[in-house]
Amino acid sequence: MLKNKYHFFYIMLILCVGYAVSQFLRTSVGVLSPNLMNDFDISPDNMGLLGGVFFLSFALFQIPAGILIDRYGPHNVMTSVIVLAVLGSVIFALSNSFIDLLVGRVLMGLGCSICLMGSLVLITRWAERDQFSKLAGIILAIGGLGGLLATTPLSAFSELYGWKLSFWIASIITFLVMILYYVILKDTREGIAINRNKEPIYLKNIFVVFKERNFKYMIPMSLMSYSSIAVIIGLWGAPYLKDVHGLEVVERGKILMIMAICWNLGSYIFGRLSSIFGNYKRVVIFGSLGVIILLIILSFISNIPSIYLYILFCTLGFFGAFSVALLSHYQVLFDKEYMGRALSTANFFNFGGVFLIQWITGKIIFFMGGNSSGAPLEAYRIAFLFVAILLSISLCIYMLSNEDKKHF
């Protein structure tokens, strides 16, 4: 028992590091977007595509990855797939065109697609069900430091040494994570057997999770829960602060860093709230209402002191972490042998939603007069209100769900 306890500590540690790398690669385009738009003459709609394509490849691999994990175990799958993130980082660092950037982002998305979902499956195999929210919150909070590094530290480093060197360093760190995955990860505790799901990989078996009625009501919220915050911190936050409020690169990085810190803190707190109250639905409703209100406020403000921007982005980051409670809601609906495909299907919609929202908001900003040099306030206003409206609709549908498991 003691041996299991210590080994699980090391597993949690490397899972946090792996997720931190994923968060860095995922979020880095946000603070670098003004530089990339200038260096490669990228229009806002293509910038939305570049930001979102990571999440598209990430999402498309979620369901196949879930099936592979259920059959072969997290250790083998996580160790193999993250190699693609190493390759993607190298290609991004070597890029000389927009197409090179796209290819690098696609491979990074594929490689990072396993980091969070594999971690969540490992938690269900090593810990008791009532510990899931707390442990998932810890991984999201500590691993979220990677997103923190992709704000002020990345912008300052890029100013001094150029953004390409940062991706060379990221590729080396990602390679080391792959080695640690291979050495440290173990699919389950000693003395505990997992029934590997060996059903044939037919579509009817992949989508068996849709037989759970509550799952269907949760899909719209999955599409919007993470995308409503990722569209700010991962793409349009820095351009918005530059174009609307006239902030310089270091100041923009500081605000996004504070936002990332509050998101990390919120991930832990929302995870604890879910465990304490034992009701995930109320926590999701509380968090999503906060994000909706703050997006509306963000849509209409201009010419305000920067201190209020710090407060607004900080609060938005905190409430945006409610998605950890949504993940906890998913895991109470399914037995362990279906957990890989359940969580991977949920993540498919989570990150597929990010791609759609980043791409669509890029189109909106472009059609409202945005270009590689910047965009007017009205463009960001329509884009952010669009996100707030979709999140509101998703919340209304989500309220039809409950937390009762239905066996299938």
The structural domains of the chain, with segments of one domain joined by +, span 2-186+210-398
Q: Tell me the H-state helices in 144-246.
A: 145-149, 152-161, 163-184, 203-206, 213-225, 227-231, 237-243
- Between 162 and 336, the more confident residue is 162
Q: What is the pLDDT of residue 408?
A: 46
Task: With beta carbons less than 8 A apart as the criterion, state whether 209 and 338 touch.
Answer: yes
Among 11, 17, 18, 28, CA closest to 82? 18
Q: What is the pLDDT of residue 198?
A: 53
pTM of the model: 0.74
C-alpha 127/C-alpha 321 separation (Å) is: 22
C-alpha 73/C-alpha 340 separation (Å) is: 9
Write the DSSP string, 230-258.
Answer: HHIIIIIHHHHHHHTT---HHHHHHHHHH
C-alpha 246/C-alpha 231 separation (Å) is: 20
Decide if pLDDT at 153 tops 90: no
The predicted-structure confidence for 264-284, as pLDDT tens digits, reads as follows: 888 878 877 766 666 778 888
Decide if pLDDT at 207 tops 70: no
Residue with tokens 């080391």: 176
Decide if pLDDT at 206 tops 70: no
Q: What is the pLDDT of residue 9?
A: 86
- Between 65 and 390, the more confident residue is 390
Decide if pLDDT at 129 tops 80: no
Q: What is the pLDDT of residue 28?
A: 86
**100 — pLDDT class (breaks 50, 70, 90):** very high
The CATH number, out of the four listed (1.10.760.10, 3.40.1080.10, 1.20.1250.20, 3.90.1510.10), of the domain defined by the range 2-186+210-398:
1.20.1250.20
**27 — pLDDT class (breaks 50, 70, 90):** confident
Decide if pLDDT at 385 tops 90: yes
Among 143, 390, 386, CA closest to 263? 143
| Total number of residues shown for the chain | 408
Decide if pLDDT at 221 tops 80: yes
Rg (CA), the chain: 20
Decide if pLDDT at 36 tops 70: yes
Share in percent of the chain as helix, strand, coil (round to 5) = 80, 0, 15
**30 — pLDDT class (breaks 50, 70, 90):** confident
The answer for residues whose C-beta is within 8 angstroms of residue 71's C-beta and 6 or more apart is 196, 197, 198
Q: Mean pLDDT in the chain?
A: 84
The string over 268-283, giving b where at least 16 C-beta atoms fall within 10 Å of a residue's C-beta and e elsewhere, is: bbbbbbbbeeeebbeb
Helix (H, G, I), strand (E, B) or coil at 71: helix
Average pLDDT value for residue range 138-166: 85
**202 — pLDDT class (breaks 50, 70, 90):** very low
**389 — pLDDT class (breaks 50, 70, 90):** very high
Among 41-55, 113-127, 291-305, 337-351, the least confident range: 337-351
C-alpha 91/C-alpha 168 separation (Å) is: 9
Is the dihedral angle over the CA atoms 385, 387, 388, 394 positive or is it negative? positive
C-alpha 294/C-alpha 316 separation (Å) is: 6
Average pLDDT value for residue range 121-139: 80
Decide if pLDDT at 2 tops 50: no
Decide if pLDDT at 190 tops 80: no
Q: Which residues is 374 bridged to in the sheet?
A: 371
Is the dihedral angle over the CA atoms 114, 115, 120, 123 positive or is it negative? positive
